[in-house]
Structure 1
Amino acid sequence: MRHTEFWVRMEQALGPSYARSWAGSFVMRELDGRTAQEAIDAGVPPKEVWLAVWRTLDLPASQK
């Protein structure tokens, strides 16, 4: 997964105006206590970050 696809999925899940805000403020234990943005910035693969977001938000399987 590319970074652009990650952000498209985030916007689909949370809306374009909230996705980046949420990604920069919501800390996830699954990402070692980092936000999605911090994990991306640290080099965690976007697919891994997306799966953590997907599980955290309890999104439907169709969005996996």
Structure 2
Amino acid sequence: MKHSEYRRLMTDEFGSAYAAVLGNSHVLQVLGNRTADEALADGVKPRDVWVAICDDLQIPEERRLGRDIPIKERRDV
């Protein structure tokens, strides 16, 4: 997963404003008591950060892939 895909998933699930707040303030024990932004800056893979957020906030499996993106939009991501 690329960083851009991680950001898209965060925005899809939480909205742009709350995703930003969550990324820099919610501490994830499984990531060494770091925020998502700190973990990413330290080189943790975006997919691992996304899974940690989903697990911690109990995001249902069916919402972990984000919204469907039309093929044309996918090429621009």
Asked if Structure 1 and Structure 2 have the same fold, meaning a TM-score greater than 0.5 normalized by the shorter chain, the answer is: yes
Q: Which residue of 2 aligns with 1:29?
A: 29
Q: Which residue of 2 aligns with 1:40?
A: 40
Q: Secondary structure at the match of 2:44?
A: coil
User: Which AA in structure 2 matches 1:37?
Assistant: D
Higher relative contact order (CA 8 A, sep 6+): 2
Q: What is the CA deviation profile of residues 16-60 of structure 1, one whole-angstrom value per residue up to 9, with x for unaligned ones?
A: 111011110011101100000000000000000000001011111
Structure 1, unaligned stretches of length 5 or more?
none
Structure 2, unaligned stretches of length 5 or more?
66-77
- Let me know the Cα RMSD of the aligned residues: 0.9
Q: Which residue of 2 aligns with 1:9?
A: 9
User: Which AA in structure 1 matches 2:45?
Assistant: P
User: Which AA in structure 1 matches 2:5?
Assistant: E
Q: Which residue of 1 aligns with 2:56?
A: 56
CA–CA distance in 2 between the matches of 1:4 and 1:45? 12
CA–CA distance in 2 between the matches of 1:43 and 1:57? 22
Aligned residues: 64
Query: What is the TM-score when the length of structure 2 is the normalising length?
Result: 0.79
Larger Rg belongs to: 2
CA–CA distance in 1 between the matches of 2:43 and 2:55? 20
